Amino acid sequence: MLSIIILGQEYKIQIVNEIKDYENCDGLCKVVDKIIYIKENNDSDYFNSVLLHEIGHAVFWESSIGQTSVSHDLEEIIVDQIAKALVKNFNIQPKGDIVCQKNKKKSLTKKIKQ
């Protein structure tokens, strides 16, 4: 299983066909369980944005911002815009085996701790 260290905490990453109980959801970060679910997608920029968005939720939680009075709506806007900016403006791509279906055959530079 893939994993990533976020502010000293290990989060498992699962790429799934669907996210149960979340019909219109392409990603989900369960901060208490430390699991990030990403719905497989053929568009690499969108996939990467969703992954970075969910990592943003983990950063919010692990940095204790998520335990403050920041509303869920504001958190969603912040993590979404940061994720999109990283993908589009800085060509941020995940390392290792976390890639969208379209790019599965490409070898990336470094594997995320498994």
| pTM listed for this prediction | 0.75
Kindly report, residue by residue over 29-64, the tens digit of the pLDDT: 999 999 999 998 767 778 888 888 999 999 999 999
pLDDT-derived band at 109 (thresholds 50, 70, 90) equals very low
One CATH from 1.25.40, 1.10.20, 1.10.10, 1.20.120 for 2-103:
1.10.10
Q: Where are the domains of the chain?
A: 2-103
* Mean per-residue pLDDT, 88-103: 58
Q: Residue 25 corresponds to which tokens in the numbers above?
A: 């959801």
Average pLDDT over residues 77-94: 81
Give the per-residue pLDDT at 23: 76
Give the type of residue at 76: E
